[in-house]
Amino acid sequence: MIFAAADQVLTVSQMVAAEERLMTAGTDVHELMQRAGRGAAKYVWRTSAGARQGYGVTVLCGPGNNGGDGYVIAEAIRERGGTVQVVAARDPGTDAAKRAASLYRGPIVGAVHARGGILVDCLFGSGLNRPLSDEFEALLSGLAARHDRAIAIDVPSGIDSDTGALLAGKLPHYALCIALGAWKRAHFLMPAMACWDLARLVDIGAARDVASAIAVGKPVLSAPARDAHKYRRGLVVVIGGAMPGAALLASRAAAHCGAGYVKLVARDVAGAPDWLVAHETGDGDLAAALADDRIAALLVGPGLGRDDNARARLNAGLESGRHLVIDADGLMLLEAPAHTSLSGAILTPHYGEMLWLERHFGLATDAAKPARALALAEATGAVVVAKGPDTVIAGPGGQLSFASSAPSWLSVAGTGDVLAGLCAARLAVTVDAWTAANEAVWLHAEAARRAGPAFHAGDLADAIRPALESCL
């Protein structure tokens, strides 16, 4: 996969390094601030056009370079003929911020007098390194309350850029968050990402850092080859268990996602639709059923149960040597040291399953989500899809990707089974766990967007086809 610079997701130290590379190449910090501020000003200008007539833009500027960006934004709005004023929470403290402030020719007002259409929050950006004081928190929330809408520059002031954690008791809600130079991890992590409606990125010319994490991108897919046949396209076998519905749902998702053949092996196959090849398979017959060399990917977990029969079925999957997707109950039956070499597999834990796995593998649970997902990937050798409103994908070699915000309508039963089926189908087609997991997560979110509001998991599985079509 090739990623553009715009796909990279940087830590603060990686962003500083990217800025240093730009400066070494001859672009000074003043020029970077102009690019960032003027790029952001275009979004502010467009948003302010929708604000009430006569109510202008207030820019809240802090002491660092985030505040410097604020002066650039304010001057750009003023030059365009907009009504703008600055509230200076502190005097500018860096050389670049001082220079930007000296170039601003509009009014600077006291906070109590500031009200209007748009509040632009440039109090603190990626340099925030401790909780906001009560004074700053009151300043920010008071100003936000006296404006129609708020826009955050780089990150809302009061957010840890690397972890997405709140460094304030309460933050305003932002209509827009404008990332500068590159996405930061906070743009993809809760609770930060619940603070805004829309996020946009301003390019300042930072090159792609090969070591950086990426944002999950739209897959580029193709129709089956001219000479394709069902096995070459990928045979997915879903191992069913105690609750047949979940495995049926996962099979339906896999069938809509490019696999050539989806087979269900379960003790009870009553209720299987006619397009699904379903074999009644007892625990004793499972190993023989999985010996078929044409199997490209196995899915085990949805509806599996957690008793001895379930364990036997999981073990048959693990011992088959096939590419595996392990979800739901299958995850709850994994343990160290037996399952520490799951290379080539995909694990899809939700928050509770993640915690369970961490306890069983002796991993810390107090780190930020990316670090936790990476630790689990390293401990198991598998690609880990750490699900939730802020889905993170981690690979055992340290690969990391972040899913863009997906519709919250996904918070309904069975959508995880659909994702597991998607992962299995993409694994069967691509035979690469990292690629498959990224493609599946993107298609899952896109299917949710296409399914509209209040869908059930069956609707979601049916919306995979148009989602996939958009990638052809």
Ligand X SMILES: Nc1ncnc2c1ncn2[C@@H]1O[C@H](COP(=O)(O)OP(=O)(O)O)[C@@H](O)[C@H]1O
Rg of the chain in Å (alpha carbons): 25
CA distances, 268 to each of 77, 144, 244, 302, 304 (Å): 67, 58, 7, 14, 12
Q: In whole angstroms, what is the distance from residue 472 CA to residue 470 CA?
A: 6
Grouping H, G, I as helix, E, B as strand and the rest as coil, residue 342 is: coil
Question: Going residue by residue from 435 to 464, which x/- string records binding to ligand X, judged by CB under 6 A?
Answer: ---------x--------------------
Question: Going residue by residue from 141 to 180, which x/- string records binding to K ion, judged by CB under 5 A?
Answer: ------------x---x-----------------------
In the list K ion, ligand NPW, ligand X, none, the entry touching 132 (Cβ below 5 to 8 angstroms by class) is: ligand NPW
Near ligand X by CB under 6 A: residue from 129, 411, 452, 470 = 411
Q: Quick one: which of 231, 171, 167, 216 has its CA closest to 195?
A: 171
121 among annotated binding-site residues? yes
131 among annotated binding-site residues? yes
Residues in the chain: 472
* Footprint of ligand X on 419-438 (CB under 6 A): 419
333 among annotated binding-site residues? no
Grouping H, G, I as helix, E, B as strand and the rest as coil, residue 197 is: strand
Tokens of 247: 């495995």
* Footprint of ligand X on 339-378 (CB under 6 A): 350
For residue 60, the minimal CB distance to ligand NPW (Å) is: 12
In the list K ion, ligand NPW, ligand X, none, the entry touching 406 (Cβ below 5 to 8 angstroms by class) is: ligand X
Q: Are 416 and 350 in contact (CB under 8 A)?
A: yes
Question: Going residue by residue from 219 to 248, which x/- string records binding to K ion, judged by CB under 5 A?
Answer: ------------------------------
In the list K ion, ligand X, ligand NPW, none, the entry touching 360 (Cβ below 5 to 8 angstroms by class) is: none
Near ligand NPW by CB under 6 A: residue from 39, 51, 57, 62 = 62
Grouping H, G, I as helix, E, B as strand and the rest as coil, residue 130 is: coil
309 among annotated binding-site residues? no
Q: In whole angstroms, what is the distance from residue 434 CA to residue 1 CA?
A: 10
Q: In whole angstroms, what is the distance from residue 352 CA to residue 107 CA?
A: 52
For residue 343, the minimal CB distance to ligand NPW (Å) is: 39
Near ligand NPW by CB under 6 A: residue from 7, 19, 75, 446 = 19
Near ligand NPW by CB under 6 A: residue from 39, 56, 63, 82 = 63
32 binding ligand NPW? (CB under 6 A): yes
410 binding ligand X? (CB under 6 A): yes
For residue 131, the minimal CB distance to ligand NPW (Å) is: 6
Tokens of 442: 């993107």
Strand order in the sheet with 84-88: 84-88, 57-61, 116-122, 147-153, 174-180, 196-202
The amino acid sitting at 248 is L
132 binding ligand NPW? (CB under 6 A): yes
121 binding K ion? (CB under 5 A): yes
The amino acid sitting at 457 is A
417 binding ligand X? (CB under 6 A): yes
Using a 10 angstrom Cβ sphere, with 0-12 exposed, 13-18 middle and 19 or more buried, the burial of residue 340 is: middle
Near ligand NPW by CB under 6 A: residue from 13, 102, 129, 411 = 129
CA distances, 208 to each of 8, 24, 103, 211, 397 (Å): 7, 16, 31, 9, 19
- Which of the ranges 101-109, 131-139, 142-150, 368-376 carries the binding residues for ligand NPW, by CB under 6 A? 131-139
Tokens of 95: 């050389």
Residue nearest to ligand X (CB): 416
82 binding ligand NPW? (CB under 6 A): no
* Footprint of ligand NPW on 418-457 (CB under 6 A): none
- Which of the ranges 175-183, 202-210, 261-269, 407-415 carries the binding residues for ligand X, by CB under 6 A? 407-415
Q: In whole angstroms, what is the distance from residue 275 CA to residue 462 CA?
A: 14
Near ligand NPW by CB under 6 A: residue from 125, 164, 317, 395 = 125
The contacts found for 98-104 with CB under 8 angstroms, 24 or more apart, are: 98/68, 99/30, 99/68, 100/30, 100/33, 100/37, 100/68, 100/69, 100/70, 100/71, 100/72, 100/75, 101/61, 101/68, 101/71, 103/71, 103/72, 103/75, 104/71, 104/72, 104/74, 104/75, 104/78
**Residues in Cβ contact with 338 at an 8 Å cutoff, skipping those fewer than 6 apart:** none
Nearer to ligand X, 82 or 416 (CB): 416
For residue 310, the minimal CB distance to ligand NPW (Å) is: 49
Residues that bind ligand NPW (CB under 6 A): 19, 29, 32-33, 36, 62-69, 93-94, 124-133, 153-154, 180-181, 204
Residues that bind ligand X (CB under 6 A): 328, 350, 387-389, 391, 406, 408, 410-411, 413-417, 419, 444
| Binding site listing for AMP | 387-391, 416
| Binding site listing for K(+) | 66, 121, 157
